[in-house]
Chain A
């Protein structure tokens, strides 16, 4: 190696090292530590002995871990499906309408994005107040004569999860709307104009021309929804509390994970072993589902 190449190598190291060190210590190292830690039994913050996959088998088969884990996982699935069906399809509709310059679309666009900027914490606490039995939502139902529909939205098991999901959709619909808007705006206008001149109706125009061309952004939104659904934590924390009340009906992997790591599943001490196992499951789920979504959409992608 000559001096010139050495100098080049030194410069590269100078540029990438600070960033790589931080990513290494705070992203990659914790990933491997999670995998490693999940194979040990723990006493507080100290590993006791190597137990192989026992933490995982306890998590999947033993009371109360199994019940809590499956219950939480089921709620995360509800989160994912509801978000896909309610939020992302509405987002797609709004994005499409705005791309077709529906009257007032500039104002719609700016207003839809407002709640996206707010912290989940503030939004959760705000709606937590509005959804209280004496809160604004019930007051409004009373005002329009729908007293029969008044409920303790966050206090009843059958409503609580859906209520929190609706709040989250309230906050986030603007995001897929504007992502889809940008994607549809990238579809060449000639395509739309030509189809329009040929007398293609709205419905057909959307499904046969626009939709196939924006599959990449649908994939991105799907992947983000997967990651978002698995990461649900603040929403529960602010509206029904760390225990995912009432009676664990709003519990998610995120809140269960937090309780396991910092104070236990059914009121005990932190359990690092089981907690790490849950962490690893979150990693694997995120990775797998993202991979599947990307695969799935690649088969349907259309190139112009």
Chain B
């Protein structure tokens, strides 16, 4: 393409411009990668090494720290809780969200817009601002310190964007397919299940990442609702852990590595999906 920024055939001014810009971008790349690299090698260092040789390599590589954090400090539990909470919440977000999107986009009726607006109301409202009533509601339901409380809130958090993205997608599926299925004797649920859902698969992948990442990372709601150590999710567990070992940097870097690396690994293998999914709400 003619308008590409390329060195070849460019004048000196343009070459300098490209070079400068690449330098700026490279600096940011280093600012991202080095701190992460330092975090991982610090997990292998002793506290003394971290303080005296902050840029040096560890003298020996041992996984004792990782074992301590994972087993004794309960990160295995935190991890399992995060998986459970995110998995269950996402399951319901996708089920109820796709059903809601189907009910909004595939039928014509008077209250259609109203139902759609009710679903969408959650997109603009900051749910954190409602923490006091949420606390009162969760208490009434007897769900304080139960993982169900955060699961329910995460479902509510995920539904608006899911209905928004999926209904937009479902509107584009031709009605003729539906008529054909109806003639074959399918009822509405079978049409949803067998015709519409398989065709919506790409959008489902999108909303899964769009919602699962923030849910996995969420701190605020588990902080408020989960008190028992055995029920905490990874971000809250990490916070508790930091409170207890404030001076043991070697251990802290190990905890951080355990919290951060799984996401990084997933990203390396599926970066395209992550980029597409995470920006789905802001890119049309």
Contacts and interface: CB of A to CB of B under 8 A. Distances in A.
Contact of B159 (A22, A33, A94, A170): A22
A80 interface: no
Interface in B20-43: 21-22, 25, 28-29, 31-33, 35-36, 38-39
B121 A103 contact: no
Interface of B: 1-7, 14, 17-18, 21-22, 25, 28-29, 31-33, 35-36, 38-39, 51, 54-55, 95-97, 99-100, 102-104, 107, 109, 115, 118-119, 121-122, 124-137, 139, 152-153, 155-156, 159-160, 163, 188-189, 192, 213, 216-220, 224, 234-235, 238-239, 242, 249, 252-253, 256, 259-260, 263-264, 267, 271, 274-275, 278-279, 282-284
Contact of B3 (A192, A234, A290): A192
A265 to B, nearest CB: 15
Contacts, number: 268
B163 A19 contact: yes
Contacts of B2: 193, 196-197
A170 B32 CA distance: 8
A170 B31 contact: yes
Contacts of B51: 134
Interface residues of A, number: 101
Would you list the 10 A-B pairs with minimal beta carbon distance, nearest first?
A15-B103, A119-B217, A30-B130, A33-B133, A26-B156, A19-B100, A30-B133, A16-B103, A282-B129, A19-B96
13 contacts: A15-B102, A22-B159, A30-B133, A30-B137, A33-B132, A107-B29, A109-B275, A111-B32, A117-B274, A121-B219, A227-B126, A231-B128, A283-B125
A202 B17 contact: yes
B35 A136 contact: yes
A103 B1 contact: no
Contacts of B252: 125, 129
Given A16-B103, A23-B122, A136-B35, 6 more contacts: A8-B107, A15-B100, A102-B5, A126-B260, A227-B126, A261-B135
Given A117-B267, A121-B217, A283-B126, A23 B121 contact: yes
B133 to A, nearest CB: 4
A96 to B, nearest CB: 10
A139 B34 CA distance: 14
Nearest to A128: B242
Given A20-B119, A45-B139, A238-B239, A231 B219 contact: no
